[in-house]
Structure 1
């Protein structure tokens, strides 16, 4: 099935700037469906969500179209990759999404005080999609350290990707993915869920749910205690 963005009279320059990730087009809908169920359970009806590693901007726009009760802050470490920043801005402009803020540069491996001026306990939700396996371990540490400070009490950190469990990677497709990532960058690779659980606990959070997703991926939900 082909899904079309709600685009309002976009100029050719906007359309050219809108990058398209085939993987994002495949996974946005199942991820969005879970997010809708989870976020609608939150006690506050107007939420503020930070997306780490927004990439092309496809996810955050889709989420905003489905969940108008959330204000979304996209971010990306790739400040030097101007095409990503342009792509996010182009999606915002083309869809007239007033609930998506302009993207900010954010390196999640840095101390939370450097996270684009976000204040302590300012976020209801932090979302990271396919970020941790494409990052060194210090980024995972930074994500959990920062989330522990920036998420409100009872707020959520939600991560999506492929993971190891107790040091074991299954099935074979995930083994191959881990090998491919480590060839590209020796510091990359599938993070271990048990290690992430420990990072969460050390930062005042606990892993509440692990949801099986398509293509042997998982969605992890951590809650701020």
Structure 2
């Protein structure tokens, strides 16, 4: 895109790069051009890493000419963490409660990143938008054994914590270990657990009434 600076007007004011110019291009094309521009060269100087923060357009009455004014600022560079900072961050993530971990699933490593590697008991990984905890040491993570209902012996899905009372029942999901006296809700129906399962269950609450549950409401 060709532009003509007005009176050679390119100014660096308070870390803001100001350009006043004329051009045949419209404002949309101007914005696209500057957003795609990695650097600006002028008077043997190179300005890199600037982003548009303001754009103005006005006319000169005596010439009926469009004048454009663009203000750019330099994007803040992400600071690299020191080795100590990385250690502290990783330690904080490892010690984070499951409740807090569910609020920031994206900071946890993906399960896929461990394929072909070792996973230790208690490590939390994300997979398809869900957070999972490793139940036992896994010597080699296999690609065909992703966290799911089929691999509950290896992975436990972490769900939002609930009191398990009638007022705050636990949303039931397959692969869940249930506990005597706790209340669970499935498809809008509340069930009371009548005995510990001791291991993850694969069936629905409705199909386990009389065995692990009794229907309470719904």
On whether the aligned pair clears a TM of 0.5, the verdict is: no
TM bucket by the smaller chain?
A: under 0.3
**Structure 1 or 2: larger strand share?**
2
Q: Indicate the structure (1 or 2) with the bigger Cα radius of gyration.
A: 2
- How does the TM-score come out when normalised to structure 1? 0.21
- How does the TM-score come out when normalised to structure 2? 0.21
**Structure 1 or 2: larger helix share?**
1
Structure with more contact order per residue of length (Cα contacts < 8 Å, sep ≥ 6):
1
